[in-house]
Amino acid sequence: MERKKIRELGVVVGQLPSGPKNCLTDVKGVHVGHVTLYHPLTNADNEWACTGVTAILPHEQNIFQNKVVAASYVFNGFGKSTGLVQMNELGRLESPIMLTNTFAIPAVTQGTLEYLLEQNPEIGETTGTVNIVVGECNDSYLNSIRMMSVKPKHAKEAIRIASTEKVTEGAVGAGTGMVCFGYKGGIGCSSRLVVDDGEQGAYTVGCLVLSNFGTQDDLYMYNRFIDTEGKSEVVKNNEDAQTDGSIMIVLATDAPVNERQLQRIAKRCGIGLGRTGSHMSHGSGDIVIAFSTSQTLPHFSSDKKEHQFLFREDRHMMNMLFCAAAEATEEAILNSLTSAKTTYGRKGRAVKEFPLNHLRS
């Protein structure tokens, strides 16, 4: 059966409508780029590069010069991300959000730094340094992670080719070697439209996940869209794979919210994650990085005050944004499963694609 997004297979998640592309780039101005590394390594026997980099840009302007409101939320902190401490302290995003494998964090950080230094000669000279945000999952079951195939140039390339087009999902970019619920996982996206009480039209909430967590038992026992009768037909694969895994969730919106409100919205991604069957294991890094494109905030300004337009939290809109975050996260995770194809990697290992006939509409 052809690999498709779950909605194209007749399964509708939640009550809110999706955006036209049903992905992160439905939020106007957001760019996504993938660099995929998938090839045998000639300098080692039976070793493979099965990995990559995914770049998320909040807009097409100079990100350091034109920051956006941002926040993160950590459900379980078994992860090796960079940049979240300062981002949460100041509530600002000033670099692309980069996703990759665990051991590629230094290379991707370096590549992203080189990109920003080329754009901004004043960094480290006439102004301060820059805070780079990178998230990771462990793809070492399929990828020869110790060979460190990802280089700084791959991070810069992912940023360079990022576009506002519909995002490619499944075993691509940072998701190339990831495993989700014992099946092939990786990149998944979804979006939701939220109407502002008829006053200012609709706002968009978009979600991109890097899924690399869970077991088949979790999926078949707890997921409401999976036919439990199909479990008896499943021959488990990946018995040696790490079952705790991780997930990186990137949430974007054009709704006018500040960093505290954005973190409240980010917390609701955990509801969508739990609905898929996750219980956030001991060794799982479950992290949300969220940003709002409603306005940009200049790095240089002579003003002593900063003005922001925000939703009042006692209005229905906040509840709808919470709902959108939960729904988009759940659907994005399911899309990462239904979009990914069977993938072969190191030591002759294979991770099978999720059997689409086990879906329950």
| Residues with catalytic roles | 246, 284, 286
User: What is the Cα gyration radius of the chain?
Assistant: 20
> Alpha carbon of 4 to those of 1, 7, 52, 175: distances in Å?
9, 8, 22, 16
| Residue pair 50/177 in contact by the 8 Å Cβ criterion | yes
Report the distance separating Cα 50 and Cα 101, nearest Å: 10
Which residue has 């294991």 as its token pair?
281
User: What is the bridge-based pairing of β-strands 97-101 and 133-137?
Assistant: parallel
Going by C-alpha positions, the residue among 173, 174, 170, 169 that lies closest to residue 185 is 170
| Residue pair 263/269 in contact by the 8 Å Cβ criterion | no
Question: What's the distance, CA 334 to chain centroid?
Answer: 13
Q: SS in 3 state form for 300-322?
A: CCCCCCCCCCCCCCCCHHHHHHH
- The DSSP symbol for 109 reads H
Q: Which amino acid is at 193?
A: L
Going by C-alpha positions, the residue among 154, 158, 147, 42 that lies closest to residue 96 is 158
| Residue pair 71/262 in contact by the 8 Å Cβ criterion | yes
Report the distance separating Cα 9 and Cα 250, nearest Å: 24
Going by C-alpha positions, the residue among 185, 96, 76, 207 that lies closest to residue 139 is 185
